[in-house]
Structure 1
Amino acid sequence: MDDALLTETNPLPAAFDERLAAQLGFLIEVDRLKTVLRQSPLAAARRRENDAEHSWHLALMVILLAEYADEPIDVGRTMRLVVVHDLVEIYAGDTPLYDQEGALTQAAREQEAAGRLFGLLPDDQAGLLRELWDEFEARRTPEARFAKAMDRLQPMLLNWMARGGTWRTPGVTALDVRTRTSSVGEASATLGEVAKSIIDEGERQGWIRPAP
């Protein structure tokens, strides 16, 4: 990706206050999220979803499914977590769930991207977004655990509608799917059972390779 910021190609008016210019510049830069393609196929169209669509979908899932969280959660904070969680992929790129090679460098790439991207904001807001991103990654709070559960459940729904989707990735088996989506049940016993049923039926339908 070009190292130049989007606003360097068409600078904002010079009259803007420094803080406001930084905020608007960041908002323009994160428009790049709409160009980061994920592996998950859309249910409503014959194309892959992008990161911005994914994040929006997760925010809506939080609103509707928060009642199934095993621990009380702050819905607003959880929504902020899912909106922020993939922003680093603007610079780090998406790492598919079953990409073992990409996973080896994922943490380093995303840490570097977080510093670069959030550093575009005024210090207080840079710290706020970095705190949210770190919280999501660490999963130490009920909100972060539920946000991660939504991040795993949403692609499962899309894969189900695609009759396999990324489940058909070469070498991936039902055991891999169960292992990598276990965070759903860690945040919600109810939704964990939903995930289990989806995987079991996907395996029965032949959309997921049987576990060895």
Structure 2
Amino acid sequence: METPLTGRNPLPDVGERLGAQLRFLIEVDKLKTVLRQSPLAAASRRENDAEHSWHLAMMVTVLAEYADEPIDVGHTITLVVVHDLVEIYAGDTPLYDDEGRETQERREREAAEKLFGLLPADQARELRALWDEFEGRKTAEARFAKAMDRLQPLLLNWMARGGTWHTPGVTADTVRARKSVIGDASAPLWTAASAIIAEGERRGWVAPGS
């Protein structure tokens, strides 16, 4: 098992509960080191998971008005901030990595047990419930959070004139299929996303669909 960051430099005694919380907060600093495949719009490098999560939180704040159902914006922001924490241990699984997707659920569930288990029991249950809510997409907030998670890389790929759309075997139909969950939460945003994909296909930034 990977040693938590504070194993290298243990905190002084600040109390059991606060100590566990601070150790967790230090551990999630690792999210800044998890690279995603999406290229940044503002620089010639790939984004990391912490940057991705921040961007999703901003998108929820700005785009909440387009949700098909009323959502609690604060709760939705919490969902997008929590959902990728498991990638600290499970790693990022790119959307178009079909082989990696076969083991993604198992790897991420194991990571959730390990990471959230660093917290006091009540908060471990709370954050795990938030992560499960996002994954299950049973609430309006979770569906909108998932839609943001799919829309954000679409915008970055557009700015990169294709980006990960150039993955071998990926076509415009593949992109539409993997992004269709946007439509589960917002008809207007799915209309916009579909227009972006179609224009990318027209410009040759993604292989044509059937």
One fold, TM greater than 0.5?
Answer: yes
Structure 2 CA distance for aligned equivalents of residues 38 and 166 of structure 1: 10
User: Are 2:186 and 1:188 equivalent residues in the alignment?
Assistant: yes
Deviations 1:53-102 (A, max 9, x none): 00000000000000000000000000000000000000000000000000
The match for 2:79 is 81
Structure 1 CA distance for aligned equivalents of residues 183 and 48 of structure 2: 25
Structure 2 CA distance for aligned equivalents of residues 200 and 191 of structure 1: 14
Q: Please identify runs of 4+ aligned residues in structure 1 that moved more than 4 A.
A: none
In the alignment, structure 2 segments of 5+ residues that lack a partner are none
Structure 1 CA distance for aligned equivalents of residues 198 and 187 of structure 2: 16
Secondary structure, counterpart of 2:85 in structure 1: coil
Structure 2 CA distance for aligned equivalents of residues 27 and 71 of structure 1: 33
- Residue 186 of structure 1 deviates from its aligned partner by 1.2
- For residues 22-171 of structure 1, the aligned pairs below 5 Å read 22-171=20-169
In the alignment, structure 1 segments of 5+ residues that lack a partner are none
Deviations 1:151-176 (A, max 9, x none): 00000000000000000001100010
- Residue 123 of structure 1 deviates from its aligned partner by 0.5
Counterpart amino acid of 1:63?
A: T
Counterpart amino acid of 2:198?
A: D
Secondary structure, counterpart of 2:205 in structure 1: coil
Structure 2 CA distance for aligned equivalents of residues 100 and 68 of structure 1: 31
Structure 2 CA distance for aligned equivalents of residues 99 and 161 of structure 1: 21
Counterpart amino acid of 2:11?
A: L
- Given the two structures, how large is their TM-score scaled by the length of structure 2? 0.99
The size of the alignment, in residue pairs, is 210
Structure 2 CA distance for aligned equivalents of residues 44 and 26 of structure 1: 31
- Given the two structures, how large is their TM-score scaled by the length of structure 1? 0.98
Q: Please give the root-mean-square deviation of Cα atoms over the aligned residues, in Å.
A: 0.6
Deviations 1:141-200 (A, max 9, x none): 000000000000000000000000000001100010000000111100100101000000
Structure 2 CA distance for aligned equivalents of residues 21 and 103 of structure 1: 35
Structure 2 CA distance for aligned equivalents of residues 200 and 186 of structure 1: 19
